[in-house]
Amino acid sequence: MARPALGFGAREFALLLVLLVSVGLLPLVRSSSDDGYGRCERAVRGWAESSAGRDKDGDKLSLKDLLFFLHVPRTGGRTYFHCFLKKLYTNAQECPRSYDKLRFDPSHPDCKLVVSHDDYSLTSKLPRERTSVVTILRNPVDRVFSTYEFSVEVAARFLVHPNLTSAKLMTTRVLTKSRAVSTLDIWPWKYLVPWMREDLFARRDARGIDKVHSSKKVNAYDVEDMVMPLHQYINDPVAHEIIHNGATFQITGLTNNSYFDGAHEVRHCVRKHPDLGRIVLEVAKNRLDQMLYVGLTEDHEESARLFAHMVGAQVLSQSGTLNLDLKEDLHSENDSHPSMVEPEDEETNEHLNSTHGWQNNGGLNSTSDEHGKGNMTVGKLMEAYETCIAKLRKSQSNRRKISLKKVGEANFSKEARKLVPEAILNQIILLNSLDMELYDHAKKIFTQEHLLLKAQQDVAAQLEQLSEQKGWIGVVCGDGICSPWMVVMLGLGITVIIALVSFAVTTRRRTSKLKFIFKLRDVKRKKIEVAYW
């Protein structure tokens, strides 16, 4: 009886499934389980549709009234701010407190520059039709490494205090008294640094305050008794919320610092249903396509040169201070700059915008007085940039060494990164799949920018050569502008002159030839006469 019973059970289960489908109960159960996905898909697609078309611009390569430097963290943007933009814009032209969302004020009529970690949603506060956007992207794996390293570096500065409570109190007092801007005020560090600071103090308390050296020496990114290991860092919910695919979310305006009210829902849906990330990625790519300039951290030298020509030249031109010196500004592809070495990972954490309001924001860094902007060329701008970045990197390197002394075994370097297991690297790539594809798209844009600049330089060189060849027009016409009638007359005059010269030369040659014939005849005649006598 057992065998028939089992057979009947299998058939009954199959009939039950058919019955559920026939009465509509099975689709009801399925739709209930997929309800979350359907809601997320509607939310993401609705956001994408509302974002489409708003960023289209027929002339994206022309600098508009307001420049928004969308600074993706750990891409080298602070060097551009200090060594390029501070030399192109006066302090009075900067929007007050660019890096501080709470005090940001773009309404002033002289506000021409915004440099901020705020995401793309900030453009909702800007005059969109009068705003140009630029940014720099970095290889996502290197950016995650650098974010981890900088979080540890800044948090380690607080270890001079005996405990976490003391560190918090002293920081609050100093900032209140000086009214300065701390890294703790700036996104995303206002989340990442306190998180890492608490972890550092907890680990120090666990091992003993007097113990500096680690007992575990695997690699600089796995000093567990001193610093949160990298593998733990990248898997923490905080990293998933802020770091992974951070560039994509920042360029689409969907970070946890967004001005868009629905950003959290869209971001949450993409993290929960990764396939919806394709929709967000397409919006990010379109945003990059519409930007005035897209740089690459890894190709630092060429990125800086492109920025100087594509952005710097237009800023100087609009202010009427650009001195076009083609011989100085045009560089061949083989030109090298000794001071422009491979970029370090350090970025200054001191955000130097004025903290005392708009009235005190002018005159502190006057470009025209301090940098000689009135006689600036693109070539001179690059020279000033190279000098500036060399000094900045030196100070940043020294500061980093001092900051990491309290966690000495966490000796971060490019060589130390090579010791990180490949499994962790692959995990970082997987966690940042959107950023990886966005970075590839940025590289294509960068190549197009390079080709465009090369074409513009070739045209400029040809115009200069043509100008030298036709310099006589300027002598004859005065200002170099001739009417059609004058051009015709000049042409006829030149033709007549050439004809007369040719006739004179020909006549002279004929005369010389006749004289020679006559002389030859005289000689022959004399010979005949002599022979006859």
Catalytic residues: 128, 149
What distance in Å separates the CA atoms of residue 267 and residue 284, rounded to the nearest whole number? 13
Q: What is the DSSP letter of 128?
A: G
Residue 422 and residue 135: Cα distance in Å, rounded? 30
Q: Residue 151 has which token pair?
A: 């979080």
Confirm if 392 and 79 have CB atoms less than 8 A apart.
Answer: yes
Amino acid sitting at position 225? D
Q: What is the layout of strands, in order, in the sheet containing 113-116? A: 113-116, 66-70, 131-137, 293-296
DSSP element (H, E) containing 444: helix 433-469
Vertex 452 angle, CA 450 and 456, to 5°: 115
For CA atoms 431, 433, 436, 442, the dihedral sign is negative
Backbone angles phi, psi at 70, to 5 degrees: -80, 100
Please state, in angstroms and as integers, the Cα–Cα distance from residue 371 to each residue in 84, 124, 367, 374, 381, following that order.
11, 33, 5, 9, 9
HSE-CB of 386 using CA atoms within 13 angstroms: 15
Q: Which uninterrupted H or E stretch holds 132?
A: strand 131-137
- Tell me phi and psi for residue 240, to 5 degrees: -65, -35
User: Could you give the residue ranges of the DSSP H alpha helices within 52-139?
Assistant: 77-80, 86-88
Question: Residue 293, SS3?
Answer: strand
d(CA 317, CA 319): 5
What is the token pair recorded at 203?
A: 């680990």
DSSP string, 142-188: HHHHHHHHHHHHHHHGGGGSSSHHHHHHHHHHHHHHH-PPPGGGSTT
- Could you tell me the two tokens for 180? 């300065």
Sole residue written with tokens 């030859």: 520
